[in-house]
Amino acid sequence: MQTIRINAKIYVFLFLIVLNIGCDSFLDVNENPNAPISENLPLSAKLPAALVATVNQEVGSINQIGGFWGGYWGTNNEGANLFFDLKTYNGLDIRDQRGGIPIWENGYNNILYFKLIQEEAEAEGDLFYVGSSKIMQGWLFLRLVDFYNNIPFDEAGRGNTYLNPTYEPGEQVYRKAVQLISEGIQDVKSSGVIPSQTHGDVLFGGQKSLWAKFGNTIKLRALIRQSEKGDPNYINSEIQAIQQEGSGFLQPGESANVNPGYLNTPGKLNPFWASNYRDAQGAFTSNHQHIRPTVYLISQYESLNDPRLQRLYTDVNGTYRGVLFGNPDAGNPAYARINTSAFRGPAENGGSPTGIFHSFNQSSVLLSDTESLFLQAEAVLRGWLSGDLTSLLQEAIASSLDYMKVDAPGKSAYLLQEAARLDSAENKLEYLILQKWLALNSISSIEAWNDHRRLGLPEFPATIASGVEGRPLRLMYPETERGTNYEQVLAQGSDFTLRDKVWWMP
């Protein structure tokens, strides 16, 4: 495995030197580059760097895959040749070492960073860094299983100890990751961290209760993920363990957001803003000019008279116009840039924040309170948790409307209309997943792909690119792994299509 072969200290050195994040203390590494990094940089500097590297991948490549494969995004005529690998489900190009999408490589890099933080913290007896690093490793292992299925766990993140780490079944990794998160929650709760002190926690500011809720919410997502295929006894026991732990889940106003102090200078803006809206000079990015909502997405907002549509997108002569995912007819003027709706941001909203673009220094979303509430609602619907399903869904939708800057009258009108109420739904699960899909649009888009693989919901169209059949079910192992750990890759069976299921898929 390439990501594990290289000496751990070299990785940390490169990571902290190259990474440009946040304000002065996190954006600029001013230490002597010739001195031993592990000795000169305290844990309070390493933790934020690792957190930002993780959220950058979430709001970047992972969110982008979800945007296209989750039914949200397409491209206009002028962008017909962009994102060709995603629009055609081209697994070979996606796994390519030079031009592909390094989900595996970056995921294991980040696991290694948190593993090293954990080991150093254990040596110092600092349970806060031990616990938070365990929780984040659990997050990353779960993400990798969702993309690849069987992956290394026990032998991962061990520097040069295991040059060819053994793969473990995805279900087994899931259970081990959940256990690691449980241990991390207990470590954080037992630590002596004080929120007012300098600890580099750019996620929760040292608030142990929020770390515990975050960990429980990640575990709940992992249990919901296996709703159609997992062992009911295991799920029930883990739900009971969460309830016995007692911290609960992330509630309204408790999103897991990372903000190291973004600046309006090149390389230091919020990464989602800088990639999909404007650069430091205020110029529109290529993604903003070419990425468009799908026709299906717009139709769903319109059918519910959903005010988020106006907050998310610009209109074209009073109407909202999308594209067909896959660009089958790039010569059709209906899908030209000037005839399709773009993302709406402050520049298109009188300078005020709107939709998903609030400001260049907005926080990056790792796991939102909105998603947490939808997860809790589904658990209640399935009988795993007690609670008022209608109230939870109303809270979840309301939190989304708030995030997307829907005003109070629009919010009230939407929540009260019959079409947007649970008691009007023939199928409560379909209603819940549709509302979740509308709420996580371009924020945590990957969850739409995950839910569709799990439930077949919502029923958004697949690509209509020429010659493409079916849908992608996983990613192929990357060339970097095939070149360094090929025997283990071969042992997983066929790896030449995107049609092999992840373990939790029915």
Q: What angle do CA 76, 96, 466 make, to 5 degrees?
A: 40
Does a structural domain hold residue 45? yes
Does a structural domain hold residue 275? yes
Full DSSP string of 137-176 = HHHHHHHHHHHHSSEE-TTTT-TTS-SSPPEE-HHHHHHH
What is the C-alpha to C-alpha distance for residues 212 and 416, in angstroms, rounded to an integer? Answer: 34
**44's tokens:** 């309070």
Beta bridge pairs of residue 354? 357
Run of H or E residues at 13? helix 8-18
Does a structural domain hold residue 158? yes
3-state helix, strand, coil in the chain (%, to 5): 55, 5, 40
Does a structural domain hold residue 163? yes
CATH at residue 7? 1.25.40
**pLDDT tens per residue across span 242-263:** 999 999 999 999 999 999 999 9
Q: How many CB atoms lie within 10 A of CB 125?
A: 9
Q: Which of 348, 363, 398 is the last residue of a domain?
A: 348
Check whether residue 6 and residue 131 sit in a common domain: yes
> Is the confidence at residue 6, as pLDDT, over 70?
no
Average pLDDT of span 42-64: 97
What is the C-alpha to C-alpha distance for residues 474 and 91, in angstroms, rounded to an integer? Answer: 9
Q: What is the pLDDT of residue 470?
A: 95
Check whether residue 179 and residue 283 sit in a common domain: no
Check whether residue 9 and residue 116 sit in a common domain: yes
- Lowest average pLDDT, out of 90-104, 193-207, 413-427, 468-482, goes to 413-427
CB-count exposure of residue 474 (10 Å: 0-12, 13-18, 19+): buried
Q: What is the pLDDT of residue 419?
A: 77
> Quick one: pLDDT band at residue 494, thresholds 50, 70, 90?
confident
With beta carbons less than 8 A apart as the criterion, state whether 503 and 170 touch.
Answer: yes
Could you tell me which of 276, 265, 256, 264 has the C-alpha nearest to residue 209? 256
Does a structural domain hold residue 258? no
What is the C-alpha to C-alpha distance for residues 171 and 169, in angstroms, rounded to an integer? Answer: 6
| Max CA distance (Å), the chain | 65
Check whether residue 182 and residue 275 sit in a common domain: no
User: What does the DSSP 8-state code read for residue 283?
Assistant: P
Listed in sequence order, the residues at least 6 apart from 171 whose beta carbon sits closer than 8 Å to its beta carbon are: 226, 230, 503, 504
Q: What is the pLDDT of residue 4?
A: 40
Check whether residue 197 and residue 291 sit in a common domain: no
Could you tell me which of 345, 276, 381, 233 has the C-alpha nearest to residue 59? 276
> Is the confidence at residue 449, as pLDDT, over 90?
yes
Instruction: Decide: helix, strand or coil at residue 213.
Output: helix
What is the C-alpha to C-alpha distance for residues 447 and 371, in angstroms, rounded to an integer? Answer: 9
Average pLDDT of span 386-407: 97
> Is the confidence at residue 285, as pLDDT, over 80?
yes
CB-count exposure of residue 362 (10 Å: 0-12, 13-18, 19+): middle
Does a structural domain hold residue 423? no
Give the rounded percent of residues in the chain with a pLDDT score beyond 90: 87
User: What does the DSSP 8-state code read for residue 46?
Assistant: H
Q: Which domain holds residue 339?
A: 271-348
Average pLDDT of span 105-122: 97
With beta carbons less than 8 A apart as the criterion, state whether 175 and 190 touch.
Answer: no
Does a structural domain hold residue 230? no
> Quick one: pLDDT band at residue 39, thresholds 50, 70, 90?
low
User: What does the DSSP 8-state code read for residue 384?
Assistant: S
With beta carbons less than 8 A apart as the criterion, state whether 465 and 326 touch.
Answer: yes
Q: Cα dihedral angle (45, 48, 49, 54), rounded to 10 degrees?
A: 160
Give the rounded percent of residues in the chain with a pLDDT score beyond 70: 92
Check whether residue 175 and residue 309 sit in a common domain: no
Check whether residue 39 and residue 129 sit in a common domain: yes
For residue 302, report the phi and psi dihedrals to the nearest 5 degrees.
-65, -40
Q: Is the dihedral of CA 412, 418, 423, 425 positive or negative?
A: negative
Check whether residue 50 and residue 144 sit in a common domain: yes
Q: What is the pLDDT of residue 24?
A: 43
With beta carbons less than 8 A apart as the criterion, state whether 67 and 445 touch.
Answer: yes
Q: What is the pLDDT of residue 420?
A: 80
> Is the confidence at residue 28, as pLDDT, over 60?
no
Full DSSP string of 330-364 = TT-GGGSGGGSPPBP-GGGTTT--BTTB--TTPPE
Q: Which of 317, 348, 379 is the last residue of a domain?
A: 348
Q: What is the pLDDT of residue 497?
A: 84
Average pLDDT, the chain: 92
Q: Which of 295, 324, 348 is the last residue of a domain?
A: 348
> Quick one: pLDDT band at residue 340, thresholds 50, 70, 90?
very high
- The structural domain count of the chain equals 2
Check whether residue 175 and residue 290 sit in a common domain: no
Average pLDDT of span 277-293: 97
Average pLDDT of span 53-63: 98
Residue 174's identity, in one-letter code, is Y
> Is the confidence at residue 8, as pLDDT, over 90?
no
**pLDDT tens per residue across span 210-237:** 999 999 999 999 999 999 999 999 999 9
Check whether residue 190 and residue 87 sit in a common domain: yes
Does a structural domain hold residue 368? no
Check whether residue 21 and residue 162 sit in a common domain: yes
Check whether residue 198 and residue 285 sit in a common domain: no
- Lowest average pLDDT, out of 28-37, 224-233, 412-421, goes to 28-37
**pLDDT tens per residue across span 131-183:** 999 999 999 999 999 999 999 999 998 878 888 999 999 999 999 999 999 99
User: What does the DSSP 8-state code read for residue 22?
Assistant: S
Q: What is the pLDDT of residue 160?
A: 80
**pLDDT tens per residue across span 317-331:** 999 999 999 987 888
Place of tokens 């029930």: 236
Average pLDDT of span 461-472: 95
> Is the confidence at residue 34, as pLDDT, over 50?
no
> Quick one: pLDDT band at residue 38, thresholds 50, 70, 90?
low
- Lowest average pLDDT, out of 13-27, 202-216, 382-396, 407-421, goes to 13-27
